[in-house]
Structure 1
């Protein structure tokens, strides 16, 4: 009697689990209100954006020079132009990599160009991918509304079959 219900519930639960197409990350800078150190998603006015690649990672970059701090939140694939991304991209924070050859052949004195990317003295990359908008997500997601609806229908059908 209860075996049918358990089998039906298991089948419905398996059908409700789907593979996510991509993770959702916040994509903003500290120049945007609400996107600074004290993060407020209501202040930035949106719930994040879907990353362009299916195996992407959310990144938070903290760049400091003295009292000045710049925070950037984005998808890792959107930051591919940066040469200081650490090789270790697992969950957590780590200092930026040093690119000794960056602007090796550039010889001018215009500091505003920052061709060697050494304006910020302390750069930290924080990676996360275990939850949507962590600034990340799992490869699998469960839709709770279809799951609850399917479970209730399955239980009603199982009661009528017995």
Structure 2
């Protein structure tokens, strides 16, 4: 029982953690406030964190999530998922007979002037866009202090 629980915990902690929010929510835009948002565990083995920048008339909508969560609803995902940013592909064959009156939900994805996908997987919570690296030494000392005090 305890061995299986240990394996489940190791699998959980070895998963990639990403932020999940949209810039229409407070603190999720630019600048990003990481204190307001918990991270989401990406459950697929080869998952990556994603930050999508969609621009229209000088306004930018930023979406942060795991790639596995977006695969079912987005059709403009670039084929290359390696670290870095790249523009969304344009596919004219998508949804030939679908007409949506809500421009932001158009499957053609023609509402936004520019859509950029940024991928990262080398560090947890890397889709914040900030270089947030808390001091490991400080965390270690605080943990040891709390352990010794209890």
Where does 1:132-143 land on structure 2 (aligned, <5 Å)? 132-135=124-127
Pick aligned residue for 1:98 from 63, 84, 90: 90
Q: Which aligned runs of 4 or more in structure 1 are off by greater than 4 angstroms?
A: none
Uncovered stretches (5+) of structure 2, i.e. residues with no partner:
1-9, 129-138, 145-150
Match status 1:117 vs 2:103: no
1:67 matches 2:77:
no
In 1, the alpha carbon distance for the partners of 2:100 and 2:119 equals 34
Q: CA deviation at 1:40?
A: 1.1
Higher CA-based Rg: 1
* Residue 45 to residue 86, structure 1, CA distance change in 2 (3 Å): closer
Superposed CA RMSD in Å reads 2.5
Change (3 A) 1:99 1:33: same
Whether 1:29 aligns to 2:22 is: yes
Q: Indicate whether 1:58 and 2:49 are aligned.
A: yes
Per the normalisation by structure 1, the TM-score is 0.65
- In 1, the alpha carbon distance for the partners of 2:68 and 2:58 equals 29
Unpaired runs of at least 5, structure 1: 1-17, 137-143, 150-162
Query: What is the distance in 2 between the residues matched to 1:24 and 1:72?
Result: 15
